[in-house]
Amino acid sequence: MTKTLFTNCFVYNSVSEKFEKLQILVENGIIVRLAEKIAIDNATIEDLEGSYLIPGLTDAHTHSFEGGLYALSIDMGDVECLDDVFDKLNEADASQKVIFAYNFDENRIREKRFPTMKELDRLLPHTPLLVRRVDGHSCVINRAAAKKIPFPNRLPATFDGLLRREENDLAAHWFHRNVDNETILRAYQKAEEIAIQNGVTTIHTMLGDAEYDYLHFELLLEHLPEFKVEFIPYPQMFDVVKAKGINSARIGGCILADGSFGSRTAALFEPYADDPGTGTLYQTDEFWNTFVDKAHDSNLQVGVHCLGDKAVDQIFRAYKNAQEKSEKDLRHQLIHCELIDDSILSHIAENNIACVMQPMFDKLWGGPEQFYAQALGVERAMKTNRLKTMIDNGIRVVGSSDWYITPLAPLMGIEASVNHHNPDERLSIPEAIKIYTENSAWLIHEENSRGVIKEGYKADFTIIDRDILKPDNLTKIKAKGIIKNGYWLRP
């Protein structure tokens, strides 16, 4: 029987929304006592050095394999021009089986364009190379990759290496399949390392080709006990029978109802501000109704990527139809919901649906002069990522990063939630903490065992270096590690 007494710490009380100086006695990973002073002889003493404890932060939507893999690869997030891109690629090890670069944003470089296939071929003529856009919805490849990826249709003679939609997904998944099991596990180990550095105790991770293959799902399941951070895997596919066969409680993730604003493929009711199109619904209503009904009947929680207002409406209606046929407490997920129509806001909570949001999207692209405004116009841009409006409508908002798209760092997400570009959508600090803790626990039906610091609950804490309730501290806070299952894991 393992007993640990954590002392010299300030503990967040989610009811009073204050910190209290308490000691915490943990036995076999469960909080058995909280008090100002606990006298016990046979426990290990851990002095937390005056740290602040909040419930363990969960990131409820990540691509942790890709995030870990890309963290071991070439980050294009700081390039300012194409010469910077080429300099980084020149340093790549051409002896590797494949080469990844990620976090590229053509809008942030001087030339405002992707590199061409010819330019990439001059640098890496023989090793397959993928340079992936920051949102994951487009990429550029070299000729060595184009020759190996099994595209269903012949590429046109004018092909310049740029891929979108299905071809983008096909290329990315071909690259991901061409790494060995050792590299896959190294990617998750890197994800775990980054999580602990950022105070994350639990990570929801999407894995699969977003069609009918769950890729290395079983490999990860086999190795889950080796990780100290908790991974909750999603079979990211449409095969309900296969998901049930691996005893998954959920299905989906970034199975796509539409694309992204960056690629102008997010489905909108009204045209883009800088493009006459309205994006694309990737599937018909009939397709989604059939899929959701089948998953719902099989007691699987469903999560779907729906970014534009037209796509959010489509997936909401599929969930609503399934609930009306057979009401269940499955807590289906609308993932991203960057733009949402007013007409469905009051009905999402009625149908027990969660909105899995990424507050960092607003921090990076929100406001009257940033990317959303360019793509959507200022008026619609200020109605994106409606965190406060959703909460005020009774919706369970669950916080996440969509890592590798934004950092695996809920503390940054909390700061972004509190400082939303639209003052009407700003959360209080306790509300922002809740979307990464209590609401995350609710999403996985564990609201009675985690998400708050309370006797009888799991000893699952994030350790921070200062009082998060003071707004001036939000940009300065650093994680000092996590306590998971009663063990202090330091960065």
For residue range 347-382, list pLDDT tens digits in order: 999 999 999 999 999 999 999 999 999 999 999 999
Res 213: pLDDT: 87
Query: Could you list the residue range(s) of the whole structural domain that residue 473 is in?
Result: 1-56+452-491
Q: Is residue 61 part of a domain?
A: no
- How far out from the chain centre does Cα 234 lie? 12
CATH code of the domain in which 422 resides? 3.20.20.140
d(CA 404, CA 47): 34
Q: pLDDT tens digit string along 63-76?
A: 999 899 888 889 99
Q: pLDDT tens digit string along 140-189?
A: 999 999 999 999 888 888 899 999 888 998 998 898 888 889 989 999 99
Categorize the per-residue pLDDT at 221 as very low, low, confident or very high, splitting at 50, 70 and 90: very high
**Does 36 lie in the same domain as 160?**
no
Q: How many domains does the chain have?
A: 3
- Burial group, residue 182, by CB count within 10 angstroms (0-12, 13-18, 19+): exposed
Tokens of 301: 């929680």
**Does 303 lie in the same domain as 164?**
no
**Does 210 lie in the same domain as 82?**
no
Q: Is residue 400 part of a domain?
A: yes
Which helix (H) or strand (E) covers residue 358, if one does? none
**Does 424 lie in the same domain as 293?**
yes
**Does 247 lie in the same domain as 301?**
yes
**Does 295 lie in the same domain as 254?**
yes
Would you state the torsion angle of the CA atoms of residues 24, 25, 27, 29, taken in this order, to the nearest 10 degrees?
Answer: 10
Q: Is residue 443 part of a domain?
A: yes
d(CA 203, CA 345): 27
Flag whether pLDDT at 211 surpasses 90. Answer: no
Domain finish residue from 177, 202, 221: 177
Res 1: pLDDT: 63
Which pairing describes strands 200-207 and 230-235: parallel, antiparallel, or unpaired?
parallel
Tokens of 385: 């990522």
- Burial group, residue 275, by CB count within 10 angstroms (0-12, 13-18, 19+): exposed
Q: Is residue 234 part of a domain?
A: yes
Task: State the residue for tokens 């489905």.
Answer: 267
Report which residue type is found at 94. A
Would you state the torsion angle of the CA atoms of residues 400, 402, 405, 406, taken in this order, to the nearest 10 degrees?
Answer: 10
Which helix (H) or strand (E) covers residue 137, if one does? none
Q: Counting runs of H as helices and runs of E as strands, what totals does the chain give?
A: 18, 20
**Does 188 lie in the same domain as 170?**
no
Q: Kindly state the average pLDDT of the residues 100-110.
A: 92
d(CA 20, CA 36): 9
Count other Cβ atoms within 10 Å, centred on residue 14.
Answer: 17
The CA-based diameter of the chain, rounded to the nearest angstrom, is 77
**Does 347 lie in the same domain as 368?**
yes
What single-letter DSSP state applies at residue 187? H
| Backbone torsion region of residue 463, taken as left when φ is above 0, otherwise alpha when ψ lies between -120 and 50, otherwise beta | beta
Q: Is residue 68 part of a domain?
A: no
Res 179: pLDDT: 85
pTM: 0.89
- Closest to 79 measured CA to CA, from 67, 91, 68: 91
d(CA 466, CA 473): 7
d(CA 275, CA 272): 5
**Does 466 lie in the same domain as 418?**
no
